[in-house]
Structure 1
């Protein structure tokens, strides 16, 4: 079945949030398949490292071990793998959306997405590290600069994939696109970020409840290998939720470009009079 989400469309705050979940609803199966095949090796490596890390610590403090495993590993290798998993999911999501747009709103195959990921991976990896450092500096200097740069830097990563641009090009274009529309972009991204972390915290709460029941029953379940494996798997599977954030960034990018340049509108105008014009086109909101 052909998907109907129109990416090149001007969206307000509510539409950015709503269409993010609509896009997920229509594409979750091929997206999960792409995550499993492309990001799977990194996720698996992280899970194995996390299990060994917890086992080596003896899981002496069950409650602390659960929190540490879901919120972040305490080893340098664990932090690196966790960060790499997040970056890999982000690149895969942007690549998926880019191919989806190029194919005219059709779900791309995993090999098609992989082709984009291979091409952009190292460029995006380097850019993510540099922009992450810049964001961290902004937060350390003062929270306000960090909050201001956050949506702009996020849009820059999308520009690098969607327009095959360099970091310098994306830096300049990102500020131009978001000008006069910072609040809408920031608001949509913040809402989705809250949803993502709420989902992650839900797993933490469930594991905490299981730990509390275990303590009341006098069980050593939380010190067992099965429990260690479970919390390690959950820790890395939660990273998949960050793909939702990359989707809203993508929609923000296309909305900003449409406001500034009207590319999607021109494409639809050019289709007028063709033999099989596309139907159910969204209303433009300018």
Structure 2
């Protein structure tokens, strides 16, 4: 059955910015179910770990803080939050890119995609995508050490690596070189997309959590006169707030991955579609000259 959402095409900047929202509207059920099954459990654990991090000061005695138990608790919560956060982001990337890959496949009916269709790819690629993310983070970190700008440059050049790995089934090294090649001559274009998608993601998270911030402010302010009441009030409030904010930030990162997936196909069509057209034209010109 023909697909009702065209992905393999050249898109201008504005189209790419709006594409994630149209994509979610068109595929909300299948993509949402897949994220719910394969990503949300990891997001919940990451959110709980972060909430424990910010509530630790409210739950410990001064003696524990002075003895170093506080630092140990903070390190443990930070480490667990970071680990599960990275696992959640890797799972989200795997789900989104495999979903886009199925939608782009003209032999697949978009309306029949189910989580079980995505799971085999997520399961087989998860570890390698995690390693790719770690490698990109390491390369970016090294670049940032050298006056920050090299780190930003490298991160944008490699930002399509996970998409390339899923879409093209290439090996580890080829995924990096392929991303580097695709972004060449489109670095600023890609950088602009990433910045705007990050802003959208942050704004959506803040829009949902803003009412909670107001409630938290007045709840905490009302308990300032009684330290014990303030401790009992602010601890749970901060726990819920930071856990919710962390979880939503992961969920809304979906639009970033969708945009990058669309941009991958956009660059394929822009660079390689144009090259193919030029080669065909050269062949036609040669044939015409010979005749």
Indicate the structure (1 or 2) with the bigger Cα radius of gyration: 2
Q: Which residue of 1 aligns with 2:87?
A: 84
Unaligned runs of 5+ in 2: 61-75, 224-228, 278-291
Q: How many residues align?
A: 253
Q: Is the 8 A contact 1:90 1:242 kept in 2?
A: no
Structure 2 vs 1, CA of residues 184 and 202 (structure 1 numbering), >3 Å: closer, same or farther?
A: same
Alpha-carbon distance, 1:183 to partner: 2.1
Alpha-carbon distance, 1:92 to partner: 1.3
Structure 2 vs 1, CA of residues 205 and 168 (structure 1 numbering), >3 Å: closer, same or farther?
A: same
Distance 1:190 1:101 in 2: 25
Q: Which residue of 2 aligns with 1:262?
A: 273
- With 158-167 and 174-183 compared, the bigger mean Cα shift is at 174-183
The residue matched to 1:262 in structure 2 has which SS?
helix
Q: Which residue of 1 aligns with 2:175?
A: 170
| Aligned partner (choices 159, 162, 181) of residue 157 of structure 1 | 162
Q: Is the 8 A contact 1:160 1:166 kept in 2?
A: yes
Q: Is the 8 A contact 2:17 2:197 kept in 1?
A: yes
| Aligned partner (choices 74, 84, 100) of residue 97 of structure 1 | 100
Q: Which residue of 2 aligns with 1:249?
A: 260
| Aligned partner (choices 214, 234, 241) of residue 223 of structure 1 | 234
Alpha-carbon distance, 1:248 to partner: 0.7
- With 38-47 and 190-199 compared, the bigger mean Cα shift is at 38-47
Which has the larger share of helix?
Answer: 2
- TM-score (structure 2 length as normaliser): 0.77
Q: Which residue of 2 aligns with 1:199?
A: 204
Q: Which residue of 2 aligns with 1:13?
A: 13
Distance 2:241 2:138 in 1: 32
Unaligned runs of 5+ in 1: 61-72, 267-286
Structure 2 vs 1, CA of residues 93 and 222 (structure 1 numbering), >3 Å: closer, same or farther?
A: farther
Distance 1:230 1:180 in 2: 42
Q: Which residue of 2 aligns with 1:236?
A: 247
Q: Is 2:15 the partner of 1:4?
A: no
Alpha-carbon distance, 1:96 to partner: 1.2
Q: What are the superposed Cα offsets for residues 10-47 of structure 1, whole Å, 9 maximum, x if unpaired? A: 11111111222211221223222111101133123224
Structure 2 vs 1, CA of residues 105 and 8 (structure 1 numbering), >3 Å: closer, same or farther?
A: farther
Q: Which residue of 2 aligns with 1:140?
A: 145
Structure 2 vs 1, CA of residues 3 and 21 (structure 1 numbering), >3 Å: closer, same or farther?
A: farther
Structure 2 vs 1, CA of residues 59 and 93 (structure 1 numbering), >3 Å: closer, same or farther?
A: farther
The residue matched to 2:9 in structure 1 has which SS?
coil
Alpha-carbon distance, 1:203 to partner: 4.5
Alpha-carbon distance, 1:225 to partner: 4.1
Alpha-carbon distance, 1:130 to partner: 0.7
- TM-score (structure 1 length as normaliser): 0.78
Q: Is the 8 A contact 1:196 1:242 kept in 2?
A: yes
